Amino acid sequence: MSLSQPAVQAAIGVLGLLLVSWVAQWLARHVLARGLARLGTASRPGLAAVLLNPQVLNRAAQIVPTLIIQVGIGFIEHLPAAVVTVVQNVAAALTVLCVARTLFKVLDVTLEVHQQRALAHDDGRSRSIKSYIQLGQLVVGAAAVVVMIAALADKSPLIVLSGFGAMSAVLMLVFQDTIKSFAAGLQIEGNDMLRVGDWIEVPQAGADGDVIDIALNTVKVQNFDKTIVTIPTWKLMSESFKNWRGMSESGGRRIKRTLMIDAGSIRFLTDEEIERLGQITLIADYVHEKASAVKISRSMKASELGEALARVPANQRRLTNIGTFRAYVHAYLKANSGIHEDMTLMVRMLQPTAEGVPLELYCFTNTTRWADYEAIQGDIFDHLLAVLPEFGLRSFQAPGGADLLGLIGILDSAAKSASISVSE
């Protein structure tokens, strides 16, 4: 077989082109890519660090051989025109594929750099860009498919797109959740409604925990029992959810709980009780001030109504045990180091119910950590329940088994005593 034969020359030309493309790829990957990667490592986090990332450069190096084959195949003599066209079209499609894979890696590295920057600034609640990254990959993938089909068919991409136009209804049906999720993601991001690290409640989805991932189609929430709930992004716009970020950023968490006071234990205080309660440091000034006001009021009533009418209890101004206890609770909360000083603090009585008189505590702790919040709240109500008898008050609770057994025992004893007295 002579080298002058057209087939041999064409084969040598193809082998030479393959060798040149392989050498070019080796140089691009091991020389150029490594050199540029060192520049990327030395540069600050940003666009340069993304484009000069070693993974991105390795992907970009794969474009070189396909371009060389696409251009060089036309210079090989004695190849049939049909073969040249097919090789060029296939090489063009592979070039588009390599470019798309490079762009995919650019987007992936962008997400990694953003997450690393958030960790470096200790900002676990930074806005997530994962949904935008996934949307970008979806757009790049769709465009790459259209261009690759056009390259293989040797047609204009516009012609391919016109063919997809007839399938628009099908595509809309297939990607309806993606389209709705993308629109919801824009609203969530634009209004800053959700971030990674936020504590949210979505009762319809059984979610009550921290957001750990925000993607294009889904939002992942890790519940406090460590289960993970996946919620479609568009559902967060069509249904309501509660975000506790405002509470976390405010530095205080609300306590809103009631003490049920037995209405039968509410009464006026005697002079001896007023004197005893005046020795409590937290309300000493309050008791003395009220006691002085009561004395002045009684003197005025005596001068207006006379001594006889002034002694009638209904005509007198008197201190109640629940009013004094309410003042004590307010003073106790203000003196508590676990209560936020700059937020709302009040103690109020609500409408009496069949279970007693509700005394509501409304205040904020100076921490938002769950365990500390519960500890502070528990200490407050432990103390208040224990100090109730000091004011002659009782907390209300429904009778339990022991109470009923005690009542039955009393009734039995009374019945026995009655039967004995009758027999006698």
CA–CA distance, 122 with 126 (Å, rounded to integer): 9
Q: Render pLDDT for 13-42 as a digit per residue (tens, 0 to 9).
A: 778 878 888 888 788 777 776 667 666 555
Outline where 121-222 has alpha helix (H): 130-153, 157-165, 168-174, 176-190
Closest CA to 372 of 221, 255, 211, 259: 255
What is residue 142's predicted lDDT score, i.e. its pLDDT? Answer: 81
Rounded Cα distance, 144 and 376, in Å:
59
pLDDT digits (tens, 9 = 90+) for 270-287: 889 998 999 999 999 999
Residue percentage of the chain with pLDDT more than 90: 27
**Least trusted range by pLDDT, from 46-55, 61-70, 148-157:** 46-55
Positive or negative: CA dihedral 104, 109, 114, 118: positive
More confident: 322 or 413: 322
Dihedral sign computed on CA atoms, order 180, 182, 183, 185: positive
Predicted TM-score (pTM) of the model is 0.61
Domain boundaries, the chain: 6-166, 255-391
Using alpha carbons only, what angle is made at residue 397 by residues 394 and 402, rounded to the nearest 5 degrees? 105
Span 222-243, mean pLDDT?
Answer: 89
- pLDDT, position 318: 79
* Average pLDDT of span 54-64: 82
